[in-house]
Structure 1
């Protein structure tokens, strides 16, 4: 599981750096996009690695490990995840079309910064909560988690939307197809391996408890409530 997490993060970083080095004339927009991918992958990879090292496992693999074929298939899916998630950034980095640091760049940078900040803070809040023995068997409903049941995923989707905004001005021809990236991330997290299994697990563990049912009723699944 540790190898799986590190492989995913290092693949993002390695491919991004190779594209930068192999592409002549990468401009400021391309360099910033590359830095965004590297920073995101490095942070997420190190966070997940430390979490697995502390707890000894990743719960996501519990149902997969008994079935070798399904467990092996996760590596294939990981390759697809890497390519589809970062495709838009990679296409923009290597695009022949060059555009100065315009409004799209600054707007996208702001959105990306907001997204990675939310994701990072949410992850740290949950890690701190789970590391406190007093919270054993309880669900988190404080900080960003009082505004959204999955603020980390909201941050993740937001940061890739930021990447898309920055990339827009340099896309041309077939490259527009790479806009599938933020759509893929959103669908993966809201319909696939993100929200659904976690909601199912939470319902199984705390469903029927008045405090949990009240929290679930008052707190949006993804987009944080501002009040």
Structure 2
């Protein structure tokens, strides 16, 4: 199997699943005690870090050290930055409306168990599935080649969009003069979700790092799953529904700004009392 020790990889996959679930279960204890489940978003990035660290330790003697170190560093930089940002942004805030609406689907007396299944265990499983390229890459016996370094470059593009986009939005929200307004400057001028676009780039880049070998291509469902969640799942659609009902200028911003891929803003002109976009790329 491309020079990979299949038994060692299988053991690693079992251990990384346990690591991901351990982080999410620890977050569940915090959420159950506090009654606030938004902290699971902090655990999300930490769970990926736990998977990468477990894979790094268990792949010793099996995978090329240069690739193992590369994958560990890339995941830790992404995961720790994301968790720190989410923690800082959410400190002292009440429950996230997304989780509040989700838990309203269950009777009050059953919400703790419902949260365990629908929030924590589900996210633990997704972390494990999305991180499969990282786990496989750490067992590849040869150093990164052209495709691996291409993936690293794409990862860097993704981290740039995530970190710069988050920083720009944070500065915008910190200014009281912007209360109720829509952020439409910086990277947000070209995509309504630079952080989500960056997240997709990160995981497609990590997939390319595993695609140096044929077995790595078997993990292509991982970045596809992450991209689907960002574009059609719990990412973009849920956030835009919330912003559409709370931000008066959101409809106009959405009409001129790409929904995902960074693209030049669409120019608008008045015609018959209405504004029409002059170009309508999907994004």
TM-score relative to the length of structure 1: 0.88
CA deviation after TM superposition for structure 1 residue 24, in Å: 2.5
> 1:192 aligns to what?
233
Q: Which has the larger radius of gyration?
A: 2
TM-superposed deviation, 1:139: 1.3
Task: From 85, 96, 99, give the equivalent of 2:142.
Answer: 99
Partner of 2:263: 225
Flag the 1:198–1:3 CA change in 2: closer, same or farther, 3 A.
closer
Change (3 A) 1:144 1:182: same
1:11 lines up with 2:40 in the alignment: no
Q: What displacement does 1:60 show?
A: 2.5
CA distance 1:170–1:34, change in 2 (3 Å)? farther
How many residues get paired? Answer: 220
The CA distance in 2 between the partners of 1:54 and 1:146, in whole Å, is 30
2:79 aligns with one of 29, 33, 41: 41
Structure 2 CA distance for aligned equivalents of residues 145 and 7 of structure 1: 26
2:217 and 2:148 map into 1 onto residues whose CA distance is 17
CA contact (8 A) 2:190 2:263 kept: yes
Matches of 1:82 and 1:132, distance apart in 2: 35
Mean CA deviation greater in 195-204 or 111-120: 195-204
1:84 aligns with 2:120: no
Which residues of structure 1 form unaligned runs of 5+? none
Helix, strand or coil at the partner of 1:137: coil
**Shift of the alpha carbon at 1:61?**
1.9
Q: Which has the higher contact order (CA 8 A, sep 6+)?
A: 1
Q: CA deviation at 1:153?
A: 0.5
Gaps of 5+ in 2: 1-36, 266-283
Question: C-alpha distance in 1, partners of 2:57/2:198?
Answer: 29
Q: Is residue 163 of structure 1 aligned with residue 206 of structure 2?
A: yes
Q: Is 1:71 matched with 2:134?
A: no
Structure 1 position 3, deviation (Å): 4.2
Could you say which residue in structure 1 is the equivalent of 2:179?
136
Which TM-score applies when normalising by structure 2?
0.72
1:137-179 CA-partner distances (Å, limit 9, x unpaired): 111111111111111100110111111111101342xx54321
Task: Please give the alpha-carbon distance, in whole angstroms, between the structure 2 residues aligned to 1:39 and 1:86.
Answer: 15
Does the C-alpha gap of structure 1 residues 132 and 59 become closer, same or farther in structure 2, counting only changes over 3 Å? farther
